[in-house]
Chains A and B, each alone.
Chain A
Amino acid sequence: DAGVIQSPRHEVTEMGQEVTLRCKPISGHNSLFWYRQTMMRGLELLIYFNNNVPIDDSGMPEDRFSAKMPNASFSTLKIQPSEPRDSAVYFCASSFVGYSNQPQHFGDGTRLSIL
């Protein structure tokens, strides 16, 4: 079974550039989460979607960050313009949230470096 698929695995770009991270959740899952992880701040929830609808984006750092989920099998996280402090590992996770509580499953992550 395919797990959560993220792309790219690594991204190195200069500050000011637009960065787009992509995620394909596990088929059948109805919830998708974007996280950011750094040594200093640990794992932070940025935004989560349920049935393609953003439920809580309170973790999105600022207006430079945006996320979309146009359909059940695809989501993007965009940073525009990017800054060096955005450097981190970005994880996408999916789960089925319903009457039985299922765990989250994570993608491999995108390692983002902003120079």
Chain B
Amino acid sequence: RKEVEQDPGPFNVPEGATVAFNCTYSNSASQSFFWYRQDCRKEPKLLMSVYSSGNEDGRFTAQLNRASQYISLLIRDSKLSDSATYLCVVKGGSGTYKYIFGTGTRLKVLA
């Protein structure tokens, strides 16, 4: 089983739709969670950190479910510019240096 798993997609959605991605992780000791966005042939860019109580940044909402070991990303009112690959990243406790990346979920927002 991979340490971090994501549905590769693609998710094709119309503009204005709401779309959600999940990411599961295997290490129950994981402490930090992040969502990154990667555009074609560009570097991964931090979209948002994921906090235990869940957090929102504009149209984006991230949630963590420790019991089931998954994190989610919800995008509301999707824009054409949201088309990208979304990477889930999981990190262990403060003594761990490794960031484990999922393989990413591709999103295409259609006009």
Contact = CB atoms under 8 A, between A and B. Distances in A.
Interface residues of A, number: 25
A43 interface: yes
Contact of A43 (B32, B34, B44, B98): B44
Contacts of A48: 97-98
Interface in A92-109: 95, 97-101, 103-109
Contact of B46 (A31, A50, A105): A105
Given A48-B98, A97-B97, A103 B46 contact: yes
Interface of B: 31-32, 34, 41-46, 49, 87, 89, 91, 94, 97-99, 101, 103-104
Given A48-B97, A89-B41, A103-B32, 4 more contacts: A43-B87, A43-B103, A97-B97, A100-B94
